[in-house]
Amino acid sequence: MANLTIFHMMTTAGWAEVMYNGINARGPDLVGERMHRPLRGYFFLVIMLVTSFFVRKLFIGIVISTYNRVKERQSKDYLISTEQKTWLQIKLMILRSNP
């Protein structure tokens, strides 16, 4: 359950509610008390900062590696058609030929 809570916070969706529930918690099967342990907020902030930076860097790394892979696969002539490619190859053959 703790891993799911940390994953929930990593996505930054409703992490403040999780933090306040942790601050207000007194124990299992006990009703929460408002601001019971306010120093727990620092724990949640540290977890939020570390995990959000990790997820952000992971996402950016995946995007960049995918972009580089696609760029290598398509090489530098990916914007021209097959007819244009054949025309360029013929033109290069003509330029390289000796009289």
pLDDT (tens digit per residue) in 53-98 = 888 888 899 999 998 888 777 766 667 788 988 998 999 999 998 8
pLDDT greater at residue 35 or residue 17: 17
CA 14 from chain centre, in angstroms, equals 18
**Average pLDDT taken over every residue of the chain:** 84
Structural domain for 41, as ranges: 2-96
Q: How many domains does the chain have?
A: 1
CA torsion angle 78 80 81 85 (round to 10): -90
